[in-house]
């Protein structure tokens, strides 16, 4: 029944999704204003959602252009559907324009199709279809739309300061059958505090180094600029040998007497850095083998001692595992250095329940202080957990099983979704076990089958939770 219902709306679903995907809704700190709290792109995507909602007869409520909601239903309790319309930067290497959606016979290709514009449109249409059916609502529904999920969550932070907290809800921003627990997520910078004096003139001086744009992405490109006293060819040969040994791509260019080294890796979501290739850490690994100036040497040695080839916090002394939530993971998402100010590492640490975060950070802070480094702590979100046997979770899982026949149990993840804003919040789709996960990667796509099946599951779930009761 539900799949037949969705069939009637397939063309509209694709058209509305295409409109949303064509907005480059990447946070832009250079364009921030009161009208555009995280830049014009995310604001435009938020307004787009209001426009389609108003076209379809729904009320909307804006919260300072950084978040808002689409309202449906009626009743005492509020069911929240927590979505986001911001996306991570597209990065390089796409086969198509990431913000000009390509619709093929079986898929839609663009940045944000999986994370989280496709699932947002699927959830929106589930609500719209029920509304068009003129069902007898027993709950109010708030589709809450955020614009800063991929960075600092300023959107939900601001939203929940003044707006009603849903009694229960889901984020369509992960996998089916349901995600009932999420690791704690912390971001922090390790900052080099002091410049070191060189006794002799070094053979090589590191002028600058950059890699990565986001804490929660494995960087796929790194650029180091070196002043070389002599033997430029020697360094280039060593670099080529290094790339070959480590099965990496890269290039070297001499520009006005400066040697520019570039290394390329593989970008993946920062929740599991072990499946990516961190271009920044690899390039530092190469530079650590040269006779660099003392400040740069201290910087590269720090990477070697604590970060390189250590995805589970082993080198930082933070290895920790639980059977329910898995391992601590560490992603070094942003690396920068210049010869005037030294460098810093931007780290995204994810940890299961039971990990003593404060204790671990205090110890690490003390240890690296002696090496001339300090920690600037950013946001820390504690782990989130809802019992998988809770009736709410079981209702969601049941609707998934009804439509797929798949008996997979709900599980926990290292990613973070808006579900953690709610006491009783879980992530629910829109990835299936046969979906190719290209979140935060090039050539991201969603299949039409996945998009329509997710809509159908959301439809049945919302009917069970907000109409039948």
Catalytic positions: 86, 149
84, 232, 71: which is closest to 154 by C-alpha?
Answer: 84
Q: Within the chain, what is the greatest distance between any pair of CA atoms?
A: 81
Q: Both tokens of residue 334?
A: 């942003």
Helices then strands, each counted (H, E), the chain: 11, 24
| Phi, psi torsion values for 323, nearest 5 degrees | -70, -30
* Chain center to CA of 249: 25
Of the chain, the end-to-end C-alpha distance in Å amounts to 19
| Phi, psi torsion values for 170, nearest 5 degrees | -140, 155
**SS3 (DSSP) at 453:** helix
Q: Both tokens of residue 351?
A: 């940890």
CB 143 within 8 A of CB 81: yes
The secondary structure of residue 418, as a DSSP letter, is: G
Residue 238 burial by CB count (10 A; 0-12/13-18/19+): exposed, middle or buried?
A: middle
Beta strands in 390-447 (DSSP E): 411-413, 425-427, 430-431, 445-447
DSSP conformation letters of 47-87: HHHHHHHHHTT-EEEEETTTEEEEEEE-SSSEEEEEEE---
Angle CA 371–339–301, to nearest 5: 35
| Phi, psi torsion values for 72, nearest 5 degrees | -145, 170
185, 259, 249: which is closest to 220 by C-alpha?
Answer: 249
Q: Residue 410 and residue 387: Cα distance in Å, rounded?
A: 10
Q: How many CB atoms lie within 10 A of CB 434?
A: 9
Q: Residue 251 and residue 260: Cα distance in Å, rounded?
A: 8
Q: Residue 346 and residue 191: Cα distance in Å, rounded?
A: 9
Q: Residue 13 and residue 7: Cα distance in Å, rounded?
A: 10
């Amino acid at each position: 029944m539900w799949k037949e219902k969705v069939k009637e709306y397939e063309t509209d679903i694709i058209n509305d999704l295409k409109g949303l995907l064509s907005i480059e809704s990447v946070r832009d700190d250079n364009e921030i204003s009161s009208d555009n709290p995280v830049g014009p792109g995310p604001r435009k995507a938020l307004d787009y959602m209001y426009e389609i909602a108003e076209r379809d007869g729904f009320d909307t409520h804006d919260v300072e252009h950084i978040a808002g909601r689409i309202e449906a239903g009626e009743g005492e309790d509020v069911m929240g559907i927590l979505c986001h319309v911001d996306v991570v930067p597209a990065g390089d290497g796409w086969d198509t324009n990431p913000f000009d959606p390509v619709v093929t016979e079986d898929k839609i290709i663009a940045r944000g199709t999986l994370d989280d514009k496709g699932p947002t449109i699927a959830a929106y249409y589930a609500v719209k279809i029920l509304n068009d059916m003129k069902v007898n609502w027993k709950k109010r529904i708030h589709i809450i739309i955020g614009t800063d999920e991929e960075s600092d969550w300023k959107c939900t932070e601001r939203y929940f300061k003044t707006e009603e907290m849903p009694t229960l809800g889901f984020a369509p921003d992960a996998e089916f059958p349901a995600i009932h627990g999420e690791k704690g997520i912390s971001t922090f910078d390790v900052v080099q505090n002091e410049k070191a004096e060189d006794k002799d003139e070094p053979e090589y001086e590191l002028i600058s180094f950059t890699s990565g744009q986001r804490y929660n992405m494995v960087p796929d490109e790194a650029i180091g600029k070196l002043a070389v006293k002599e033997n430029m060819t020697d360094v280039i040969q060593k670099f080529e040998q290094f790339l070959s040994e480590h099965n990496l791509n890269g290039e070297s260019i001499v520009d006005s007497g400066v040697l520019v080294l570039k290394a390329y890796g593989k970008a993946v979501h920062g929740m599991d850095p072990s499946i990516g290739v961190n271009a920044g850490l690899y390039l530092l690994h190469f530079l650590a083998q040269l006779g660099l100036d003392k400040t740069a040497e201290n910087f590269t040695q720090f990477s070697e001692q604590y970060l390189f080839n250590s995805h589970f916090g082993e080198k930082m002394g933070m290895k920790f595992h639980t059977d329910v939530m898995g391992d601590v993971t560490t992603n070094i998402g942003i690396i920068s250095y210049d010869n005037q100010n030294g460098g810093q590492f931007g780290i995204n640490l994810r940890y299961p329940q039971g990990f003593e975060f404060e204790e671990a950070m205090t110890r690490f802070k003390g240890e690296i202080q002696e090496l001339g480094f300090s920690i600037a702590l950013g946001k820390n979100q504690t782990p989130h957990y809802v019992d998988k046997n809770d009736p709410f979770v079981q209702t969601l899982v049941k609707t998934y099983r009804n439509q797929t026949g798949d008996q997979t149990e709900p599980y926990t993840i290292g990613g973070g979704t808006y579900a953690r804003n709610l006491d009783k919040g879980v992530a629910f789709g829109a990835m299936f076990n046969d979906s190719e996960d290209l979140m935060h990667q090039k050539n991201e796509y969603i299949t039409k089958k996945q998009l329509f099946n997710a809509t159908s599951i959301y439809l049945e779930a919302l009917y069970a939770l907000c109409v039948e009761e």
